[in-house]
Amino acid sequence: MAHVSLAKALQRHADCPPADIEGASLRSVLDGYFARHPAARTYVLDETGAVRKHIAVFVNETLISDRSELSDPISEDDRVYVFQALSGGST
Amino acid sequence: MTTTATTDDFAGDTSIAARTADAWVGTRKGLFPIAIDGSAARVGEPSFLGSPVTNAVRDPRDGSLYASIDHGHFGVHLHRSDDDGATWIEVAAPEYPPKPEGVVDVNAMSQREVVWATQLAWVLEPGHPDRPGQLWCGTIPGGLFRSDDRGQSWELVESLWNMPNRSKWFGGGYDDAGIHSICVDPRHPDHLVVGVSCGGAWSTTDGGSTWQIAAHGMRAGYLPPELAGDPDTQDPHRISRCDAEPDVLWCQHHCGIFRSTDNGGSWDEIEKAGPSTFGFGVAAHPHDPLTAWFVPAISDEVRVPVDGRLVVTRTRDGGASFDVLDNGLPQADAYDLIYRHSLDVDRSGERLLLGSTTGSLWYSADAGDTFSTVSSNLPPVHSVRFA
């Protein structure tokens, strides 16, 4: 199970509590997460399924490498963090 | 890499009141002089009307004015006035060298290629009094530039730009990293501390030949917990030095307020400061190392004053306690944000100016005890500097 948590900034807009999700790739983990919390999906991914430009996704301490296909592998007990990148919002 | 001015007269596009201003306010649509008489301040005729003025500063050594203009479609341009804003000449803008063949330079957060070109000349800072004509310019995407000839030419400080740690930097507000604070040490012309969003703070003691990280103790709540203490990826919104005790630096960071008493060697967090520790601007008292001013907003997620009441917070005891200053500031329905370059204190430590995203400007002649409204109708304010 991967441990998924989303930034506080996202929690203001959609129900997205931390959750433990099965999956061997980031795509499968996020699909599983958004199946439980569908309102959060469009805040993180765009209509093509890619990570939005100003969203940062880490697996443990590492930024993901594939922002469009979400093919980064996920292992048991990995932590998936979805943050609001600091770009895109100085005002 | 050196760039040189190619045009020399912008005066035809700027009809300016020729008088010595007490402060300069850079806005989304022009540069405005501010005249101060006692406790009253008023706005004068603008330069560069219609153009976004990112930053402007008067060099106290020779009286020259410098303005950084972001023309958007037409790029970044710098101008100098030698007659208090009556006329301006265009000087050189910082230009990056060509990216060498084979060099891969990727923004750590966006994973997009960093283009070696000036996106914004974010801050201009006069050099040390012993280096007349020397200027520093902090830019987006993260380069520090030095001019030794009053802006006629600029050279990228390649030691900082080529530092391996830069590969960890990313944008704060903008897509790419940027240098917004350049703190010259009054004790030595070759000693600087610079602040980078998001790349921590860096110090040099040899004029920029070598750099040391100066962000230990800062905390990045926007990264996984294991990375929160990494000094290379901190987001100091603004760093301000106490001129009389230069080892004392104050920082308004994305995640709170920090103070250093060892010239950036380490930082201590100040966890309570009036209604909030989130904000952008900080002004260090020029003489008193225990005094500094901030302008709080609710939080990262909600960048407006707490409860619609605009206040300035002031500490006089090194951050142990804060006065919440609201006399003369709007106390209902105020949604002003004060950008990082839009709070300034003068060399006496008594006069303050702050300008907001909604085009208001406030002045205090008594260190913030009382404020008066200078204008509520300016364009959005990017920078405020006393002359």
- Which region holds residue B335: left if phi is over 0, alpha if psi is between -120 and 50, else beta? alpha
Cα–Cα dist B72/B253, whole Å? 28
Question: Which chain A residue has the Cα nearest residue B176?
Answer: A87
CA dihedral (B203, B167, B115, B25) positive or negative: negative
- A9, A60, A85 member nearest B301 (Cβ): A9
Query: Tokens 């007349």 identify what position?
Result: B132
Q: What is the mean pLDDT of residues B193-211?
A: 97
Question: Which chain B residue has the Cα nearest residue A80?
Answer: B224
CB contact (8 A) between residue A83 and residue B222? yes
The pLDDT value recorded for residue B20 is 78
Cα–Cα dist B90/B51, whole Å? 14
Report chain B's mean pLDDT, rounded to a whole number: 94
CA distance A43 to chain B (A): 14
Cα→Cα distances A82→A44, B176, B222, B299, B340, Å: 8, 20, 10, 19, 27
CA distance A88 to chain B (A): 5
Tokens of B368: 């913030």
Give the B window 38-97 contacts with A, CB below 8 Å. Answer: none
Q: What is the mean pLDDT of residues A14-21?
A: 96
The pLDDT value recorded for residue B14 is 41
Cα→Cα distances B229→A87, B86, B377, Å: 19, 48, 41
Measured in degrees and rounded to the nearest 5, phi and psi for residue B232 equal -75, -15
CA distance A80 to chain B (A): 9
Q: What is the mean pLDDT of residues A7-35?
A: 95
Report the Cα B45 to chain-centroid distance in Å.
Answer: 23
Residue ranges of alpha helices (H) inside chain B are: 158-161
Q: Where does the pLDDT of residue B22 fall: very low under 50, low under 70, confident under 90, or very high at 90 and above?
A: very high
Most B CBs within 10 A among A6, A52, A86, A91, hence the mutation to make, goes to A86
CA distance A35 to chain B (A): 24
Task: Reply yes or no on whether the pLDDT at B11 is more than 50.
Answer: no
CB contact (8 A) between residue A81 and residue B224? yes
- In sequence order, what DSSP letters do the residues of B306-362 get, joined into one string? GGG---EEEESSTTS--EEE-TTS--SS------TBSEEE-TTS--EEEE-TTS-EE
The pLDDT value recorded for residue B16 is 40
Give the B window 203-222 contacts with A, CB below 8 Å. Answer: 222
Q: What is the mean pLDDT of residues B343-364?
A: 98
Helix (H) or strand (E) holding A9: helix A8-11
Q: Where does the pLDDT of residue B108 fall: very low under 50, low under 70, confident under 90, or very high at 90 and above?
A: confident
Residue A58's identity, in one-letter code, is F
Closest among B127, B144, B123 to B384, alpha carbons compared? B123
pTM for the predicted model, two decimal places: 0.92
Cα–Cα dist A19/B58, whole Å? 54
CA dihedral (B291, B357, B171, B185) positive or negative: negative
Cα–Cα dist A14/B25, whole Å? 39
CB contact (8 A) between residue B175 and residue A88? yes
Closest among B142, B310, B325, B327 to B235, alpha carbons compared? B142
Task: Reply yes or no on whether the pLDDT at A66 is more than 60.
Answer: yes
CA distance A68 to chain B (A): 12
CB contact (8 A) between residue B109 and residue A63? yes
Burial of B215 (0-12, 13-18, 19+ CB in 10 A): buried
The pLDDT value recorded for residue B171 is 93
Cα–Cα dist B160/B153, whole Å? 19
Report the Cα A37 to chain-centroid distance in Å.
Answer: 12
Helix, strand, or coil here: B165? helix
Return the ∠ at Cα A85 (arms to B333 and B201), rounded to 5°: 95
A vs B: CB pairs below 8 A: 61
The pLDDT value recorded for residue B19 is 53
ipTM more than 0.85?
A: no
The pLDDT value recorded for residue A88 is 67
Chain B contact present for A60, CB below 8 A:
yes
Q: Are B169 and B196 in contact (CB under 8 A)?
A: yes
Strand B352-355 with B361-364, pairing:
antiparallel
